């Protein structure tokens, strides 16, 4: 089935902000995190940027492939916010097309291609040198819809409690990716 943008999804161009401060992909509280910034696009699409830091190296002067996969995963995960569906990555297949040096800004875009029951199919690309630059990485993913219990049951107690006790209602909801 074609994906359906939720009527309350943020307008195209709007920054999504971090869904959870401690998130390695987008949170502001992780000193070595990616601090990826995602923006709503048209339909069920997202654009995002991430600048490779020295802490993200795999080989001298080059981004670690796993960090680049994280950037793709985070961008793809942000699509769920436009569907207003809670979902986790089930499968992430990544192509590393060209090396990405430290200091490079990766320009990412992602879209949901289909939804079938609990399964959300999506793809993403990361370009260098600008949003229209050459492709450095791309991915295809399958996210699976889950209930909020997924996090409550499986997450470590101290972080779950801290997130649930957050006095900010929107932050509390978004930590678990729930529609506030």
Ligand X SMILES: CCCCCCCC(=O)SCCNC(=O)CCNC(=O)[C@H](O)C(C)(C)COP(=O)(O)OP(=O)(O)OC[C@H]1O[C@@H](n2cnc3c(N)ncnc32)[C@H](O)[C@@H]1OP(=O)(O)O
Q: List residues binding ligand X (CB under 6 A).
A: 19, 25, 73-74, 77-78, 80-81, 88-91, 117-119, 142, 144, 146, 177
Nearer to ligand X, 77 or 126 (CB): 77
Alpha carbon distance 47, 35 (integer Å): 14
Q: Please name the residues in contact with 121: beta carbons below 8 A apart, sequence gap of 6 or more.
A: 112, 113, 114, 115, 140, 141, 142
Choice between 61 and 148, CB closer to ligand X = 148
- The radius of gyration of the chain's CA atoms, rounded to the nearest angstrom, is 16
Q: Nearest distance from residue 93's CB to ligand X, in Å?
A: 10
Secondary structure of residue 28 in the 3-state scheme: coil
Q: Which is nearer to ligand X, 15 or 129 (CB)?
A: 15
Query: 10 Å Cβ neighbour count for 150?
Result: 16
13: left (phi over 0), alpha (psi -120 to 50) or beta: left
* Nearest distance in Å: CB 14, ligand X: 14
Cβ proximity to ligand X, 102 vs 140, nearer residue? 140
Shortest distance in whole angstroms from residue 30 CB to ligand X:
13
Q: How far is the CB of 138 from ligand X (least distance, A)?
A: 17
């Amino acid at each position: 089935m074609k994906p359906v943008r939720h009527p309350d999804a943020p307008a195209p161009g709007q920054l999504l902000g971090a869904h959870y401060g401690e998130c390695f992909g987008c949170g502001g509280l992780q000193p070595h995190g990616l601090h990826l910034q995602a923006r709503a696009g048209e339909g069920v699409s997202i654009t995002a940027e991430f600048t490779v830091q020295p802490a993200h190296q795999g080989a001298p002067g080059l981004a670690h492939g796993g960090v680049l996969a994280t950037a793709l995963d985070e961008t793809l995960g942000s699509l769920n916010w436009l569907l207003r569906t809670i979902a986790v990555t089930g499968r992430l297949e990544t192509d590393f097309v060209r090396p990405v040096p430290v200091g490079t800004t990766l320009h990412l875009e992602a879209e949901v291609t289909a939804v079938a029951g609990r399964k959300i199919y999506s793809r993403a690309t990361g370009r260098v040198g600008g949003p229209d630059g050459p492709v450095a990485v791309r991915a295809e993913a399958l996210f699976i819809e889950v209930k909020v219990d997924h996090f409550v049951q499986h997450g470590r107690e101290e972080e779950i409690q801290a997130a649930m006790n957050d006095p900010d209602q929107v932050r509390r909801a978004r930590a678990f990716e729930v529609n506030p």
